[in-house]
Amino acid sequence: MASKFISTIIEYKNKIILSVISLYEAYKRPLQIMLPLLILSLAGWLTKIIIEPIQFEKEKNYRYNFIKEKLIDIRSAQLAFKEKNGQFTNSFDDLISFVKLDSFVLIQKTDTLIQYYNTVYREMQFKDTTLLDTLGKVSVLDSLFKNGYPIDSLAFVPPLNKDQFVMRAGVINKSKIDVPVFEARDPNPYDPQNTLIIGSTVEANLNGNWQ
């Protein structure tokens, strides 16, 4: 009885082995074709998840370097505008027009002594004074930027120059003193978690948020 049972088990085992061999032979060719494709697909997927963040960061740094430079240029133009007008502007048209058409007066200051008659002491005395000599004028554009600077594109976000910076200006009260403020920001950042901004309309700060 036991030997018959063992014989039955061996018979089933042999059938299973033959079935596996037959199955392998039947699918051997498709497996030889599909397995390399599966390996290539897996390798491509792994490469993608590794390379994409690196490429994203590289492209982000490339774009943000241009944007930082442009925001600094906007700040330079705004500071010149404020020096002449006493406040910042929220209009790129006004800012660009000012840079293109306005000018600075060049003044030379010289500290010196002058002699004068003191009516109290009834004698000639000397006093310190500063002499101001007007040397001429220089355009704001030539003063702030290098020759050939594309001032008409000041409002646009590089390097694509499709979007326009959002710019605001106003006045805040700081320690009972009215302080002019402005802010310029990228409205459509490449990395939504890292928007580049220069200046502020809620505090007296003219720096970029990366500085």
Q: Are 150 and 136 in contact (CB under 8 A)?
A: no
Residue 65, H or E segment: helix 2-85
Select from 155, 107, 149 the least CA-distant residue to 131: 107
pLDDT tens digits, one per residue of 4-39:
656 666 666 666 666 656 665 666 666 666 767 777
pLDDT band of residue 136 (cuts 50, 70, 90) is: low
pLDDT on residue 144: 93
Q: How far apart are CA 86 and CA 178, in angstroms?
A: 12
Distance of CA 178 to the CA centre of its chain: 29
Which pLDDT belongs to residue 13? 60
Q: What is the pLDDT of residue 180?
A: 97
Closest CA to 130 of 152, 108, 150: 108
pLDDT of residue 44: 73
Residue 126 pLDDT > 90: no
Share of residues in the chain with pLDDT > 90 (%): 54
Distance CA 125, CA 121 (A): 9
Q: Which two tokens stand for residue 58?
A: 């590289």
Task: Find all residues with CB under 8 Å of 100, minimum gap 6, and list them.
Answer: 140, 141, 151
Q: What is the pLDDT of residue 194?
A: 95
Residue range 83-109: mean pLDDT, rounded: 88
pLDDT value at residue 20: 58
If you compute the radius of gyration of the chain from its CA atoms, what whole number of angstroms results? 38
Share of the chain above pLDDT 70, in %: 76
pLDDT confidence of 57, banded at 50, 70, 90?
A: very high
Q: 61: which DSSP letter?
A: H
Residue 144 and residue 76 in contact, taking contact as beta carbons nearer than 8 Å: yes
Planar angle of CA 101, 107, 109, nearest 5 degrees: 160
Closest CA to 90 of 34, 170, 152: 170
Contacting residues for 118 by C-beta, under 8 A, at least 6 apart? 124, 125
The mean pLDDT value for 109-135 works out to 70
Q: What is the rounded distance in angstroms from the CA atom of residue 182 to the CA atom of residue 206?
A: 8
- DSSP code, position 108: E
Given pLDDT bands bounded at 50, 70 and 90, which one contains residue 132?
A: low
* pLDDT band per the 50, 70, 90 thresholds, residue 156: very high
